[in-house]
Amino acid sequence: MSKNIKDIPQVLIAEIEKLSNLGYGIAKIDGYVVFIEGGCPGDKAKIKINKKNKNFANAKIEEILTPSPHRIKPVCPMYNVCGACQLQHIDYEYQLKLKKEVVEDSIRNLCGADIEIREVIPSPQIMAYRHKIQYPVSETKDSKRLIAGYFKTASHEIVNIKYCPMQPEICDKIIEYIRENASKYGISGYYEKKHSGDLKHVVIRSSKYNEKNLVILVLNSNKVLKKAENLARSIYEHFEEVSGVGINLNPAKTNLILGDSTQIIEGKEYIEERLCGKDFKIGAKTFFQVNPSSAENIFNYVKNYISSNFKSPTILDAYAGIAAFGICTSDIAQKVVSVEEVTESIQLAQSLIQENKINNIELYNLSMEKFAEEKCNTKFDVTILDPPRKGCTEKSLDFVLKLTKEKIIYVSCNPATLARDLKYLITKGGKVEYIQPFDMFPHTYHIENVAIISLK
| Nearest residue to 96 via CA among 68, 129, 118 | 118
Is 82 catalytic? The answer is: no
Do 139 and 182 meet the contact criterion of CB atoms below 8 Å apart?
Answer: no
Q: Which of 40, 171, 392, 413 is catalytic?
A: 413
Helix and strand element counts for the chain (H, E): 9, 22
Helix pair 92-111, 415-427: axis angle to 10 deg: 30
Residue 412 burial class via C-beta count within 10 angstroms: exposed 0-12, middle 13-18, buried 19 and up: buried
Query: 198 burial class (0-12, 13-18, 19+ CB within 10 angstroms)?
Result: buried
- Alpha carbons within 13 angstroms on the beta-carbon side of residue 220 total 20
Tell me the three state secondary structure of residue 213. Answer: strand
Angle at 25 between CA 23 and CA 26, to 5 degrees: 120
Distance CA 101, CA 192 (A): 39
d(CA 308, CA 409): 14
- Report the catalytic residues: 413
